[in-house]
Chain A
Amino acid sequence: NAGVTQTPKFRILKIGQSMTLQCTQDMNHNYMYWYRQDPGMGLKLIYYSVGAGITDKGEVPNGYNVSRSTTEDFPLRLELAAPSQTSVYFCASSYRGTNTGELFFGEGSRLTVL
C-alpha cells in the first residue's frame, strides 16, 4: 500500500531554474495539500485542492503553482526558483478535509536553491 508518494526526494536548483515536485496518492482521497517545512517554523500551507479541477491558495502561495487534473496527482511547480524556496516540501491527502479526516503525508522532498 503506497499511500502518498513524492518525487524527487532531494533536488538542488540554481536561482531562476524551474522544476515540478510530483505527488501521487492511491487512496482515492478527494483532498490534497502541499506544505513547506522550515526549521522552527512548523508546516505552512502552500496550496490545496478539494477535488480534480479545483485548487486554492493556502498561506504561502507566492512563487508556486499547482494543478489537479486527476484525483491521484497534485504536482507543485516552481517557476523561477529563489533561495527563499529552500525548504522541505510535503504533500498530503485526506478523504474529507482536515476536520473530518486524517492527513496522510508523503516522506517529503528536500529542495535547495543556490
Chain B
Amino acid sequence: GENVEQHPSTLSVQEGDSAVIKCTYSDSASNYFPWYKQELGKGPQLIIDIRSNVGEKKDQRIAVTLNKTAKHFSLHITETQPEDSAVYFCAAESNDYKLSFGAGTTVTVRA
C-alpha cells in the first residue's frame, strides 16, 4: 500500500514569513494529492489539492507543488497569519481510491 512521509512534524514561523511542508509518497501510481488543515478540536478540512497531471496549483496565499519523478509534493503558505496556526496533513491516493495520510505538521505562527 501507499506510504506517505511528512516533514517537519512541527514548524514555528514568524507572522508574515513563509511556511513549507514537504511530503513523499511510495506508490508511483498515486495520482491525487490533497492537503487538509485541522484546527484545534475540529475535524480536518480540505484546503487545496493537486492531481498528477499538474505541477503546481495556487489559491491565494497557499500553493502546492508536485514532482512525480521524485515522488514528492509540498505545501507553501506565504505571508503567514495567526489563523494559519493548525495541524496540516498531506495525503496521497493510488488506484484503490483510499487516501493515505502523512503524520501531520503542527504549524505555529508567532505574532
Q: Which residues of A contact B (CB under 8 A)?
A: 4, 40-45, 48, 58-59, 90, 92, 97-99, 102-103, 105-108
Contact = CB atoms under 8 A, between A and B. Distances in A.
A54 to B, nearest CB: 13
A59 B99 CA distance: 10
A107 B43 contact: yes
Interface of B: 1, 4, 6, 9, 31-32, 34, 36, 41-46, 49, 89, 93, 97-104
Contact of A43 (B45, B46, B89): B89
Given A42-B102, A43-B89, A98-B98, A105 B32 contact: no
B45 A98 contact: no
Contacts of B97: 97-99
B99 A45 contact: yes
Nearest to A56: B98
Contact of B1 (A40, A42, A59, A105): A59
Contact of A99 (B31, B43, B101, B102): B31
Contacts of B41: 107-108
A58 B98 contact: yes
Contacts of B32: 98-99
B98 A48 contact: yes
Nearest to B49: A102
Contacts of B1: 59
A90 B44 contact: yes
